[in-house]
Structure 1
Amino acid sequence: MLGAELREARRRAGMKVGALLEVLGFSARWLSKLESGHRQTDARNVARLLGAYHVDSETFKRVMDLCRDVDGGYLIQGHGVGGADEVSAVRRHEAAARQLFSYEAVGVPALVQSEDYMRELFGRSVHLSADEVERCVAARKARQKVLNVGVPVKRTFVVRELTLRHLSGDREVAWGQLMHLFWLGNTRKVDVRVVGQDASFGYWDLYSFTLMRSPQFRPVVHIGATPYSLLFDEPRDTGFYEESARLLLANAMGVEESRAFIAHLAEHVGESVSA
């Protein structure tokens, strides 16, 4: 998290590692481990690095705030009106991931929601004005653009059959969401897996989470719970969610079976809409 910010700042500065280390006195191994999240450091060293990168004042403040927030591999970011969709740390890790696994215990994962479905969800909040609802929709659609990146990414989204049979909104909204899931699974490098109602359940299906892996960093887990986003990369904690992901996939329908189930359910809902 902090390491990703420092790595990006160095990249933007076009700073060669050799010249940087000669000035600051750090070793290449030290910097590599810091940027990959395998080493922590104090605020003084972070400030020295940012100064060497000649970052602007806004970037300096953001990264130093992040440095103060990170404690033992945890990062807590407060939500504004746009929720997790406007948390830059969440979006950066989703963009950096080369493997992304997302599960929602209730509802559809944010990255694969249709526009009408997300508008229905946001519109139900008594705390959001009409303008704020549209801001939330715009923020989520912007976040979903990560699905369009050209680099190879394995993305898996797990949703429960019970959720798909009882989607928020009217039948037209439900049909649109089902077709959106079907379309994503057919046209993008996205796997949608359905956990059937007859599947056995345990501790591993109780919590919504997103697990992200990338070559440069340790696995990162994001848990979005109003009014905060929690991100962490400590192996002792991410291991629980890696095991949960494994068990969810073991109990879910296969990719083709899930796709056929979604298509069948969409057809059934569509008939009700046109009737």
Structure 2
Amino acid sequence: MDSRMSNALSRELGDALRRARYESELKFGDLVEELGWSAGKISKLERGTRGTSAVDIARYVGHLRADQSTYDHIMSLAEESSTGHLVREHELAVPDALRALLLHEQTARVIWSYQILMVPGLLQTADYARELIGTTNGEHRVIERMARQEIFNKPRAPWGRFFIHEAALMRAVGCPQVMYEQMLQLLFRGGVRLVTFAAALPASLNSAFSFMTFDDHPPVSYLDGGPVALFSDEFETTNRFRQCCNDLDLVALSEEESRLVFAKWADRYDRLREEQSAPGGEAVA
């Protein structure tokens, strides 16, 4: 097959192939020779810009001598139909290990994120994330969430445009100390804007979402529905989410106005934590 525009599924498959090759002992040149394919064909497969048959994918993985779980995972991707929508299961409240999510966040040029009842995962402090995730999921899940945020430290970092509804500031996650530190994180982080209770919201903003744009392929929308995540790069769907982003721009406070509100909430949680730590004191939200 000739080169093509990649999609979310082909990129996830290509990422799985590339990771399997890195984990094998087979060198790239040896794989080219054993398969009898060109280096360009393998590179395009691993970038998701070229399609091939499931039989060829099975040959590729077989030459890597991958274990059974790796083979089964890759073949499930190779045999999945491309509909423009990907559904991926994950542990409740912890999508941080989803390869489809990590792959797209790491390669995005702009990440739009809108959250209503919580601070976006890419902006959470470790303590705030720990309270949301819960101890049953283990500390490694908190570490995974913090690792996701490292995308903003790379040389060509994505531009984050974060929109948070005021309800998320009122929702106490953990103790006042946790909320105080989280408010400071929002206060000093650029690209964060607040959607207040006073804003008249269009129907498009009744649900949280993320929308990512890229330099070399069409945008991808992401919805987290508890234990299930939905990715979409279907044209009509992503156009609707692009409009949602335009709606956010219209109703949200400016960054400067938002900082003033974050500062007020930081001050409120600061007073609550002081009351809580005073002898005989008990914080009341």
Q: Normalising to structure 1: TM-score of the pair?
A: 0.78
| Distance in structure 1 (CA, Å) of the matches to 2:98 and 2:224 | 10
1:127 matched residue in structure 2: none
Change (3 A) 1:40 1:240: farther
Q: Identify the range of structure 1 (242-251 vs 75-84) with the bigger mean alpha-carbon deviation.
A: 75-84
Work out whether residues 36 and 217 of structure 1, in 8 Å CA contact, stay in contact via their aligned partners in 2: no
* 2:179 maps to 1:168: no
Could you report, residue by residue, the CA deviation over 1:45-99 in whole angstroms, capped at 9, with x for unpaired residues? 54466678x5845655433222334431222222146731111111111111111
Change (3 A) 1:46 1:254: farther
* Count of residues in correspondence between the two structures: 257
| Distance in structure 1 (CA, Å) of the matches to 2:206 and 2:246 | 14
Work out whether residues 85 and 230 of structure 2, in 8 Å CA contact, stay in contact via their aligned partners in 1: yes
2:184 matched residue in structure 1: 179
Work out whether residues 4 and 36 of structure 1, in 8 Å CA contact, stay in contact via their aligned partners in 2: yes
1:259 matched residue in structure 2: 259
2:9 matched residue in structure 1: 2
What RMSD over aligned residues (CA atoms) do the two structures have, in Å?
Answer: 3.2
* 2:125 maps to 1:114: yes
Matches within 5 A, 1:200-239: 200-239=200-239
Change (3 A) 1:196 1:131: closer
Deviation at residue 43 of structure 1 after TM alignment: 2.8
SS at match of 2:189: helix
Q: Identify the range of structure 1 (191-200 vs 138-147) with the bigger mean alpha-carbon deviation.
A: 138-147
Could you report, residue by residue, the CA deviation over 1:136-178 in whole angstroms, capped at 9, with x for unpaired residues? 3222222222232221421111101222133322322211111
Structure 1: stretches of 5+ with no match in the other structure: 124-129, 186-190
2:5 matched residue in structure 1: none
Could you report, residue by residue, the CA deviation over 1:164-205 in whole angstroms, capped at 9, with x for unpaired residues? 1333223222111111112332xxxxx111011111112111
Work out whether residues 99 and 213 of structure 1, in 8 Å CA contact, stay in contact via their aligned partners in 2: yes
Q: Identify the range of structure 1 (230-239 vs 40-49) with the bigger mean alpha-carbon deviation.
A: 40-49
Matched to 1:88, the amino acid is R
Q: Normalising to structure 2: TM-score of the pair?
A: 0.76
